[in-house]
Amino acid sequence: MKEPVRVTVTGAAGQICYSLLFRIASGEMLGKDQPVILNLLEITPALKVCEAVAMELNDCAFPLVKDVVVTDDPAVAFKDAKIGLMVGAKPRGPGMERKDLIADNGKIFSSLGKVIDDVADKDIRICVVGNPANTNAYILAANAPSINQRNITALTRLDHNRAIYQLAEKSGSDIADVKKMTIWGNHSVTQVPDISFTEINGANAADKVDATWAKEEFIPTVAKRGAAVIAARGASSAASAANAILDHMRDWCLGSESGDWVSMAVPSDGSYGVEKGLIYSYPVVCKDGDYEIVQALEVSDFIKGKMVESETELKEERDTVSDLL
């Protein structure tokens, strides 16, 4: 039996985690042969609900779960953690844009960054989910300088999965046949879902759908899907977000499918002209527990223009949180 991996999950009493934790515990994230210790972090008023979640986790008698720790102390939660799923934050309500959340949520990520810097494993793999996810990851990274900066990422896999669904639906294809979807940029309405390199059964997807649809309907539908779910449900996406978190971390740790790639927001190394250090969504291939940004794609002028808009938004978000960096 392998050594257990310590997985810290913040916002553990919230709605995303209610879909997420049980699937981690069943082995859907790190594999059916990988035991886990689940450290659940919550704010003090939510501890009672968090205890209830822990009771239910225990009542599932998952063989892979070696311990469940409930705490409101980040230093306890992140001690020696190897995986950090940063879900805890204030969610976006009806009519709210992500920018409204920056001031509230940025502070959470600066203080957690400092704690992670002090107590976590230096190679902890982090996925920031709480919005604004990319900028929160940027804040966390700035406050955790001793942590492997490459490993501080944010979630755009939900956008990636939403884009695959929209394309499969429009083209009448099977979801399993859609490969090489790309989300560029920020997890916000400026994100750039891009089917230029996407394949359906090995053929170029762009040839299977109308070009006007791809530009004028597909992009905004994917980018505004989160708001559409909120409008329909009165609450933000939860099960699909949890599923995307599992996809993100599973592929990063265990490798993405051969012949395909996935989208992850990672610290830019300057690829595609994006300013170094910004947490920017790229197509990546995951292998041997690491990821590489897919290089040398010939991006159209239309997509490039949108990528720059999204980069500009990330720079603006960064500038509004300069006091937290």
State the nearest-atom distance from the C-beta of 150 to ligand NAX, in Å: 19
Please identify, using beta-carbon distances, which residue of 155 and 214 lies nearer to ligand NAX: 155
Please identify, using beta-carbon distances, which residue of 91 and 106 lies nearer to ligand NAX: 91
Name the pairing type of β-strands 290-293 and 279-287: antiparallel
State the nearest-atom distance from the C-beta of 229 to ligand NAX, in Å: 8
Strand residues in 42-117 grouped as ranges (E): 65-71, 83-86
> Is 160 one of the annotated active-site residues of the chain?
no
Q: Does 187 sit near ligand NAX (CB under 6 A)?
A: yes
The annotation status of 131 as a binding-site residue, yes or no, is yes
Name the pairing type of β-strands 279-287 and 262-267: antiparallel
First-to-last alpha carbon distance for the chain, in angstroms, is 41
Residues 6+ apart with CB under 8 A from 242: 16, 17, 19, 20, 23
Measured between alpha carbons, how far is 252 from 97 in angstroms, rounded to an integer?
29
Interface residue with ligand NAX among 6, 7, 8, 14 (CB under 6 A) is 14
Interface residue with ligand NAX among 41, 85, 214, 286 (CB under 6 A) is 41
Axis crossing angle, helix 98-119 with helix 133-142, rounded to the nearest 10: 30
Q: Which residues, numbered 62-121, are part of the site for ligand NAX (CB under 6 A)?
A: 87-89, 91-92, 108
Q: Does 43 sit near ligand NAX (CB under 6 A)?
A: yes
Interface residue with ligand NAX among 15, 221, 312, 320 (CB under 6 A) is 15
Other C-beta atoms closer than 10 Å to the C-beta of 300 total 11
Q: Is 255:288 a contact under the CB 8 Å cutoff?
A: yes
Instruction: Return residues touching ligand NAX (CB under 6 A).
Output: 10-11, 13-16, 41-43, 46, 87-89, 91-92, 108, 129-131, 133, 155, 158, 187, 226, 236-238, 241
Binding residues for substrate are 92, 98, 131, 162
Q: Which residues are annotated as a binding site?
A: 11-17, 92, 98, 105, 129-131, 162
| Residues marked as catalytic | 187
